[in-house]
A and B are shown apart, each in its own frame.
Chain A
Amino acid sequence: MIDLEIKEKLMSPQEAVRRFIKNGSQVAIGGFTINRNPMGVIYEIVRQGVKDLHLVCHSNGQALDVLIGAGCVKRVEIAYGGNGRFAPTCVRFRKAIEQGDIEFEDYSNYHMSLRFLAGTLGIPFIPTKSGLGTSLLDVEGFSPVLRKERKVAAKKLVVIENPFDENSHKVVLLPALNPDVALLHVQYVGEDGTVRIKGLTFADLEQAKSADIVIVTCEEIVPRSFIRRDPDQNSLPPFLIDAIVKLPMGAHPTACAYFYDYDVSHLNLYKKVVKDNQRFQDYLQEWVLGVANHEEYLDKIGMDALLKIKASPVLGYAPGLDRR
């Protein structure tokens, strides 16, 4: 029995995007490069034509690239835009920066994770020793004018002397992040709304806890008795989640540990078309805009392709998958 309190959080990806993602929203995308990207919701954002998103990213891959390529993004704060061997640098991300199409600010992965953590803890900034001596400290991507805008920190970072030890050295202070929305794709949500992530959590937990709104798409909604039997395995409590979307294969073509591997054929197809503007637009038309919903998308991917990437529930990936 699905808890009453959860019923109103259960919704379609269409409704989740319509209700919670606005033009100009600051969005944190869960997962990491080729794993657990919330692609089902990302595609819905593209279909609804959301504009001017401000993405705050550690290492984002496929979701980042599709959103930028579809023209949904105005601004990124980012550590890494890459997709493993499929794209050492995400191509639409690279082009957008080279052509001056988006505003961007560079941090490191630790920086971005710490910024989410600071947002989670409710503290305004957080210190680190990482970045000293580098251009990450010396070079600012955002202009002073842009720094006055909503959800943009007044300064990229601040370097101070350690106030607790006059013989010590400098530390870097990073501004906290509290995104408008965090988008996660996870393996399980209980009927009580409890979230369980299998495999690595990346920075999903900090992203979710720091955000105003949390949208979770999941492979399965499981009985309360199951999710509460082994609570040590659980990741987020129900009351932090605002929207729950049941979306099997919702991370495709990225991987979702214990459910499916990354779809090598599809990512190779993407790699082939992404460099050319027209062919990329054709790809978007064929696989995103011209597809009504997630079910139609999966139909189009096809059972053969989905079976090929089916993960071993023991190993977490598809052993022996041809990954060339």
Chain B
Amino acid sequence: MAITAGKLIRNGDILFAGTGVAMLAATVAKRIHAPRSVVFFETGGIDPSLDELPMAVADSRVMSGTSMNSGLIDAFSIVGHRKLHTIAFLGAAQIDKFGNLNSTCIGNYWKPKVRFSGSGGACDAAALASGFIVFMQHEKNKFVEKLDYLTSPGWLQGGETRRKMGMVRGGPMAVVTNLGVMKFDDQTKEMYLAEYYPGVTTQRIAENTGFKMDVSKAQVAVPPSDEELRILRTEVDPQRLILGEGLG
């Protein structure tokens, strides 16, 4: 997942990374695919050396070897900066077919069945960045027809609704899961299957998706090279801090 996402990054992009796989993917992108990209964190760490993988966006490792250390207000001013092409890496508990995300709760908001961490900076990055990439486990109860709570704005109700709401740029670019890569139709903004990993079938992906999704345009993804895997496993996350959770 991390390597697949890394390939979506343009050299020179400014990358905003959340916790978990998002952080792994940003580190991989910088190490392998886009060495001139810059990784920064909502906590205010800008372009850290990332010699060791941070375990949270407030890890002292995001403050080390940076071009500068600042705070949240500075970080969010970069996410939405009109001169920059910023890409956010986000995770979520639920996603709908327009790439809207829920990281707040399952069930009733006031008396939820499961409560999650909440937005953090996810809503802000989804609203303000030039684009965002989502990491998910591909399960039917996570790819849902209707979110229990809309934490972070994707394409809202599809078509032009995001623009009309007042968000002048951005929106979800891709969803990377353990089964494949989803993208969004240029016009309708509906999610479709773009790539599936070798050994995975489009039928399996459809069965693990809680809404009807177009799988007709899907192609087999190019698997990660031995060198990419070596860098990921021995240099980026040798202690398997994130890979060990089976999400890498």
**B234 CB-CB contact with A under 8 Å:** no
Give the chain A neighbours of B71 by CB distance below 8 A: 113, 200-206
Q: Please report the number of residue pairs spanning A and B whose Cβ atoms sit closer than 8 angstroms.
A: 216
Give the chain B neighbours of A247 by CB distance below 8 A: none
Scan residues 47-67 of chain B and give those whose CB is less than 8 A from a CB of chain A. 51-52, 55-64
Q: Are B165 and A78 in contact (CB under 8 A)?
A: no
**A122 CB-CB contact with B under 8 Å:** no
Contact among A88, A98, A134, A323 for B153, CB-based, below 8 A: A134
Contact among A61, A79, A129 for B127, CB-based, below 8 A: A129
Q: Which of B7-15, B117-125, B133-141, B186-194 contacts A (4 or more CB under 8 A)?
A: B117-125
Give the chain A neighbours of B80 by CB distance below 8 A: 129
Given A84-B19, A317-B61, A323-B55, A78-B112 contact (CB < 8 Å): no
Contact among A133, A202, A315 for B150, CB-based, below 8 A: A133
Which has the most chain B C-beta neighbours within 10 Å: A89, A93, A135? A135
Q: Are A35 and B58 in contact (CB under 8 A)?
A: yes
**A90 CB-CB contact with B under 8 Å:** yes
B67 to chain A, nearest CB (A): 13
Cα distance, A133 to B101, chains bound together (Å): 12
Q: Which of A11-19, A101-109, A294-302 contacts B (4 or more CB under 8 A)?
A: A101-109
Cα distance, A17 to B19, chains bound together (Å): 33
B65 to chain A, nearest CB (A): 8
**A32 CB-CB contact with B under 8 Å:** yes
Give the chain A neighbours of B180 by CB distance below 8 A: none
**A195 CB-CB contact with B under 8 Å:** no
**B128 CB-CB contact with A under 8 Å:** yes
B18 to chain A, nearest CB (A): 10
Majority-rule SS of B interface residues = loop
Cα distance, A202 to B153, chains bound together (Å): 24
Q: Are B56 and A85 in contact (CB under 8 A)?
A: yes
**B178 CB-CB contact with A under 8 Å:** no
Q: Are A316 and B60 in contact (CB under 8 A)?
A: yes
**A170 CB-CB contact with B under 8 Å:** yes
Scan residues 77-136 of chain B and give those whose CB is less than 8 A from a CB of chain A. 80, 104-105, 109-124, 127-128
A27 to chain B, nearest CB (A): 18
**A2 CB-CB contact with B under 8 Å:** no
Interface residues on A, range: 35 or more
Scan residues 206-249 of chain A and give those whose CB is less than 8 A from a CB of chain B. 206
Q: Are A98 and B112 in contact (CB under 8 A)?
A: yes
Given A59-B120, A317-B52, A130-B128 contact (CB < 8 Å): yes
**B246 CB-CB contact with A under 8 Å:** no
**B172 CB-CB contact with A under 8 Å:** no
Given A135-B109, A200-B44, A80-B166 contact (CB < 8 Å): no
Cα distance, A204 to B109, chains bound together (Å): 29
Q: Are A200 and B70 in contact (CB under 8 A)?
A: yes
A317 to chain B, nearest CB (A): 4
**A255 CB-CB contact with B under 8 Å:** yes
**A292 CB-CB contact with B under 8 Å:** no
A262 to chain B, nearest CB (A): 8
Cα distance, A94 to B106, chains bound together (Å): 12
**B239 CB-CB contact with A under 8 Å:** yes
Q: Are A134 and B150 in contact (CB under 8 A)?
A: yes
Q: Are B64 and A317 in contact (CB under 8 A)?
A: yes
B111 to chain A, nearest CB (A): 6
**Ranked 6 nearest A-B pairs via Cβ:** A84-B56, A169-B166, A80-B120, A32-B58, A110-B124, A82-B117
Q: Provide 30 A-B residue pairs closer than 8 Å at the C-beta atoms, listed in order of the A residue.
A: A33-B56, A34-B58, A34-B59, A35-B60, A59-B120, A79-B121, A83-B56, A84-B55, A84-B57, A88-B20, A88-B116, A89-B115, A108-B124, A109-B119, A109-B121, A110-B121, A110-B124, A133-B150, A133-B156, A133-B167, A134-B152, A136-B119, A136-B123, A169-B166, A171-B166, A262-B55, A315-B64, A316-B60, A322-B239, A324-B240
